[in-house]
């Protein structure tokens, strides 16, 4: 066998073949399969033009938001105006982080009234602080660079740079809420959708009496028939007050049942996708439990109800959370595909904006209001009984088809107990 440079010809040929395969794998010798250069260079040209004093928000976003997270804000704006604006798209919005103390109802209420938010999942804290504004209890702009021990002594509460009176705002909201919760309509078991509907009715009446304008999300959601859910109802001052009244008297009958919320939120997505043959989109402001609760409707349909489905069609998230820590807040839409939460055929349209929600959301709302016509309100709260009945029927029929023995066994065990 011939030898060259210490290698047999046979071995040398094998090495060369391996190198060729590696190059092929890397795409270094597959130019004939690569997209043409023009396909990569087909986007709008970046050519800086000076901002003028006449720029609208639309001008600012379309002409100067060229790249990075500014580019993602523009992508979100265009996805909403192009897809979410369609009448067959049902839009869910999740709200996490201290949004309402910062006055973010100014961005959310217009989207509700414009028909671009059909259902909401929010932290209980956001709905609690929403009531301060409706009750005309003032919150103030302040500074994060203050002595918190001095604030505590002065009776001032701080949410970063938002300051308000402990007694006259926090405790006063609690006093008014407890009185509201003694009303007859609250004395039963219910989910948070019904709870917030009753509370929203009272907030709407308060807004009208005080003539404050449209300052509250709960009041706006009530007027528009938009369901509001809280995935962790005990994790807020609202939940704390409910628990306190249970200790106070056995005559207080309100019990929040999260399982009702799981089924009623899932029924919204099920109806939109399966019964009405429409599409669904989400606007996730922050992450946390509200994000998961909104997205878990699809696994609930697929895993539990045994109904063939592929996930949400459109996905927009504003977040400051990283994906590499493994938390849900930073989880990407591509990861969500593996859970059945996002349609894999639509995932490339998804937009994640890595920035502060209080920066991005006002810009997005302003752009949407300037560039779209109002949609007809879906008023999903008014249809909640109809939607839950569809869910029950679908669950029974599909479980029976796919796992009749399991269903029979579960019923048998429940009957025994």
| Active-site residue identified among 74, 291, 341, 384 | 341
Quickly tell me which residue has 């009303």 as its tokens. Answer: 183
Q: How far apart are CA 368 and CA 362, in angstroms?
A: 10
Write out the two tokens for 163.
């300051």
- The answer for residues whose C-beta is within 8 angstroms of residue 130's C-beta and 6 or more apart is 100, 105, 203, 216, 217, 218
Tokens representing residue 344 in the block: 């894999």
Three-state DSSP at 120 gives: strand
Reading the block at residue 57, the tokens are 């928000």
Cα dist. 190→100, 196, 265 in Å? 25, 10, 14
What is the number of other CB atoms lying within 10 angstroms of the CB of residue 358?
A: 16
d(C-alpha 161, C-alpha 128), whole Å: 18
Give the pairing type, strands 119-122 and 140-141: unpaired
* DSSP 3-state of 137: coil
CA distance 250 to 247: 7
Strand partners, 140: 163
Active site residue 378: no
CB 120 within 8 A of CB 228: yes
Cβ–Cβ under 8 Å, residues 341 and 298: yes
Residues forming the active site: 341
């Amino acid at each position: 066998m011939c030898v060259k440079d210490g290698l047999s010809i046979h071995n040398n040929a094998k090495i060369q073949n391996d190198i060729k395969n590696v190059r092929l794998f890397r795409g270094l010798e597959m130019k004939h399969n690569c997209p043409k250069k023009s396909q990569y260079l087909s986007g709008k040209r970046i050519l800086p033009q000076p901002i003028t004093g006449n720029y609208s928000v639309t001008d600012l976003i379309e002409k100067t938001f060229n790249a990075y997270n500014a580019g993602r804000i523009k992508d979100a704006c265009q996805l909403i105006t192009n897809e979410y604006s369609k009448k067959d798209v049902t839009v869910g919005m999740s709200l996490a982080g201290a949004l309402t103390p910062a006055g973010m109802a100014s961005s959310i209420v217009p989207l509700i009234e414009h028909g671009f938010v059909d259902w909401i999942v929010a932290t209980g804290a956001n709905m609690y602080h929403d009531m301060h504004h409706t009750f005309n209890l003032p919150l103030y702009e302040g500074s994060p660079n203050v002595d918190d021990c001095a604030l505590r002594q002065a009776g001032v509460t701080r949410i970063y740079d938002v300051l308000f009176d402990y007694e006259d705002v926090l405790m006063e909201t609690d006093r008014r809420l407890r009185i509201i919760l003694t009303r007859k309509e609250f004395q039963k078991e219910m989910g948070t959708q019904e709870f917030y509907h009753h509370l929203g009715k009272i907030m709407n009446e308060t807004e009208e009496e005080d003539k404050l304008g449209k300052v509250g999300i709960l009041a706006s959601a009530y007027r528009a028939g938009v369901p509001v859910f809280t995935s962790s109802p005990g994790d807020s001052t609202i939940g704390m007050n409910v628990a306190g009244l249970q200790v106070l008297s056995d005559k207080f009958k309100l019990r929040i049942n999260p399982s009702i919320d799981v089924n009623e939120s899932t029924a919204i997505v099920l109806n939109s996708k399966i019964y009405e043959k429409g599409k669904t989109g989400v606007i996730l402001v922050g992450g946390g439990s509200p994000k998961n609760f909104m997205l878990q409707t699809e696994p609930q349909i697929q895993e539990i109800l045994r109904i063939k489905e592929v996930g949400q069609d459109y996905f927009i998230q504003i977040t400051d959370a990283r994906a590499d820590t493994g938390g849900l807040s930073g989880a990407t839409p591509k990861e969500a595909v593996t859970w059945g939460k996002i349609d894999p055929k639509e995932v490339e349209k998804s937009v994640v904006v890595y920035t502060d929600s209080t920066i991005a959301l006002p810009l997005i709302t302003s752009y949407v209001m300037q560039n779209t016509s109002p949609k007809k309100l879906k008023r999903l709260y008014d249809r909640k009984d109809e939607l839950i009945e569809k869910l029950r029927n679908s669950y029974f029929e599909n479980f029976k088809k796919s796992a009749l023995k399991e269903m029979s066994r579960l019923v048998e065990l429940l009957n025994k107990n």
